[in-house]
Amino acid sequence: MIDKIAIGPLFHVLKVCDRQEANALFAAFGNAFERYIQDTLRRAFPKTTAGLFDPLACGLKSESHSGEQFEIDACLSYVTDLILFEIKATWPREAELTPENAQSLLQSLRRQYGISEEADKGAAQLARLATLIAGRRWIGQMQEFRNINRIVTVLVVHDVLLSAPGFGGFVAAEFDRALGPCQKLTPCERLKGAVNVVVPIVLTVEDIEVLEVSIEHFSMREVLLDYSDACPDRMTSFHTFLATSVKYSRQIYASRHLASQAMEPVQVAMDRLFAKSAVD
């Protein structure tokens, strides 16, 4: 029921839309999801007072020294380490989620999260940003990334089904294809120029919501790097890693903001579903 509340209205409206209107609605939903993740990260890392260093930047638009334009959905700076977030809210078509359509599913995933003839998305976008920063072709608007020696890439997805085993490996493979020539230091770390680049970690929206409050007890960088070391092939989801980790399983807390905001739509749904008629 909660899932229907979240995305049900979108697909209900799509039934009466033409292709152009549907594309516009999906784009609007994608923008709304991006803002939701950015707002969640901002609650986890509140904006600092004037004059103090703010580690979090969202919706950062800029261009490289050569004039190449790009946008960073979100990034978190630890001075020498940089976490890059790419946020995506797309779904594979249901018809492609069958064994006999495995090839078309791969093509669909590449269109949405990798390299395709249409565009470079998801993992490819992260590889492009990592290449720009590692090659010192862009070091931030205020040169705040000039001392970066490690980049941790993160792909945030709306579809929780993408936490399934295999998708993380697919994303890592697409990232390597887009990253180009580099030295493979470990199964999950690449040397690009003088910068170590960690292949993408897939986080679902639920993972971000859990981390919002939980990182009051550990750092974002710490948990991402621990996951990367523990699951270099990315076959275990981040959610499973947290739930089974001796270090983190007892430090996981639900989002206070989400709990408070979720009550109203849940109550409306309960009233509609279970309200007694006037006769009763």
Residue 279 lies in a domain: no
Q: Establish if 70 belongs to a structural domain.
A: yes
What gap in Å lies between CA 74 and CA 155, rounded to an integer?
Answer: 11
Q: Which of 36-45, 212-221, 271-280 has the lowest mean pLDDT?
A: 271-280
Point out the least confidently predicted range of 11-25, 74-88, 143-157, 239-253.
11-25
Q: Is 94 a member of any domain?
A: yes
Q: Is residue 73 part of a domain?
A: yes
**Average pLDDT of the chain to the nearest whole number:** 88
∠ CA(221), CA(180), CA(92), 5° rounding?
70
What's the pLDDT score for residue 37? Answer: 96
CB burial class (10 A; 0-12, 13-18, 19+) of residue 136?
A: middle
> Is 104 a member of any domain?
yes
- Give the H/E segment covering residue 70: strand 69-77
| Residue that wins the pLDDT comparison between 103 and 238 | 238
- Split at pLDDT 50, 70, 90, the class of 276 is low
What is the residue range of 69's domain?
2-274
Tell me which of 5-14, 47-56, 220-229, 250-259 is least confident: 5-14
| φ and ψ of 183, to 5 deg | -95, 130
Pair of tokens at residue 110: 């590449």
Total count of domains within the chain: 1
Identify the sign of the CA torsion 118, 124, 125, 128: negative
Q: Decide if 173 is inside a domain.
A: yes
* Claim: this prediction has a pTM higher than 0.85: yes
Asked if 126 and 88 touch (Cβ cutoff 8 Å), the reply is no
Residue 216: is its pLDDT beyond 90?
yes
DSSP, residue by residue, 195-212: EEEEEEEEEEHHHHHHHH
Q: Is the dihedral of CA 165, 71, 190, 148 positive or negative?
A: negative
| Percent of the chain clearing pLDDT 70 (strictly above) | 92
In the prediction, which pLDDT does 33 show? 93
Q: Select the more confidently predicted residue: 102 or 230.
A: 230
**pLDDT at position 205, please?**
93
Q: What DSSP state is assigned to residue 120?
A: B
- pLDDT reading at 97 higher than 90: no
Q: Is residue 98's pLDDT more than 80? A: no
| 129 is a domain residue | yes
280 belongs to a structural domain: no
